[in-house]
Amino acid sequence: MSSPQTSSDPESESDTGSSPQQRRLEKKYERVVEREEQAAVEDQSGSNEQTVHLKVFRYDPEVEEKQEPRYDDFHVPLEKGMTVLDALIYARDHFDSSLTFRHSCRMAVCGSDGFFINGSQRLGCQTQISDLDSPVQVEPLPHEPVIKDLVVDMDHFFERMESIEPYFQPDELPDGELEEQRQSPENREKIKIASRCIQCGCCTSSCNPSQTDDQYIGPAAIVKGFRFYFDEREGEQAQDHRLDLLSEEHGVWQCHTQFSCTEVCPKDIPITEEIQEMKREAVKRDIKFW
């Protein structure tokens, strides 16, 4: 007996749709089209990506073709909350690894990234790109010798700081080995703001007398002197000696009271006011009644 014949019915395929293989191919094609469309959208958004235009001072005395100062342009992708330091790091890491600048903590504490940004002394890590006009021009701190690109020689600045002996010189120490040198809350408040100085050099760079008098100790050193002079734990002889250092020919009397140092201080220290207070202390000491 012969087996029954199986015939193919075209109408049955049309009822059930295309074959499984064809359906898989159609889904695969749909996925390819979807990926291509997504890539096109991403390419379009990338072409419209907002960037920040940096004009960065460049100078390298060790390379002959770079000994002439110039400005290089970098277009860095802008991100929310981006600082000038962030933009410089991106430019260095993605465009030019020879771009040289100082930075460390990125929290406005170390003071290493003082720059001249859009015509004002600022910390790179503290300055928001969104607060600046474009292009953002970044230069080394003025009036200091440039070593390379945005790095300046700070030796003279720190020599000025050292000249006022910025360390405690008490008359006597506590008897107990672990006993603290106590300070009243009121005295702490007196010197608290001056203690915020991070020695970034912005104030000295902005100070005109510091540029015309190479021996002027400068606003940063005077602030440091203020901090120790008014500390009640300082010895009387050391206090008197420190006032001598601050009120000598190239000390507080060279200040022209222009407030430029106060305006650029990233820690909001009232530098000019503290310089004037040291002037008053010097005058009071020298007044004699007879």
pLDDT bin (cut points 50, 70, 90) of residue 72 is: very high
Q: Angle formed by the axes of helices 218-229 and 236-246, to 10°? A: 160
pLDDT digits (tens, 9 = 90+) for 138-154: 999 999 999 999 999 99
pLDDT of residue 205: 96
**Residue 139: inside a domain:** yes
Residue that wins the pLDDT comparison between 42 and 131: 131
Show the tokens assigned to 41: 């959208």
In whole angstroms, give the CA distance from residue 44 to residue 61: 42
Spatial strand order of the sheet with 120-123 comes to 70-77, 51-58, 136-139, 114-117, 120-123
Residue that wins the pLDDT comparison between 24 and 226: 226
For residues 55 and 140, state if they share a domain: yes
Average pLDDT, the chain: 89
**Residue 193: inside a domain:** yes
For residues 69 and 124, state if they share a domain: yes
The whole domain housing 79 covers 51-151
For residues 248 and 160, state if they share a domain: yes
In whole angstroms, give the CA distance from residue 236 to residue 199: 26
**Residue 20: inside a domain:** no
pLDDT at 4 over 70: no
For residues 165 and 281, state if they share a domain: yes
**Residue 122: inside a domain:** yes
pLDDT of residue 14: 46
**Residue 26: inside a domain:** no
pLDDT of residue 22: 82
Residue that wins the pLDDT comparison between 175 and 284: 284
For residues 159 and 64, state if they share a domain: no
pLDDT of residue 39: 61
pLDDT of residue 252: 96
Torsion sign across C-alpha atoms 78, 82, 88, 94: negative
Percent of the chain with pLDDT over 70: 89
**C-beta atoms surrounding 267 within 10 Å:** 20
Do 71 and 113 meet the contact criterion of CB atoms below 8 Å apart? no
For residues 142 and 85, state if they share a domain: yes
**Residue 96: inside a domain:** yes
For residues 122 and 242, state if they share a domain: no
pTM of the predicted model over 0.85: no
For residues 125 and 163, state if they share a domain: no
Q: Residue 69 sits in a domain of what CATH number?
A: 3.10.20.30
For residues 159 and 265, state if they share a domain: yes
**Residue 93: inside a domain:** yes
Lowest average pLDDT, out of 10-24, 115-129, 139-153, 271-285, goes to 10-24
**Residue 178: inside a domain:** no
For residues 164 and 134, state if they share a domain: no
For residues 101 and 206, state if they share a domain: no
Number of structural domains (the chain) is 2
In whole angstroms, give the CA distance from residue 270 to residue 180: 29
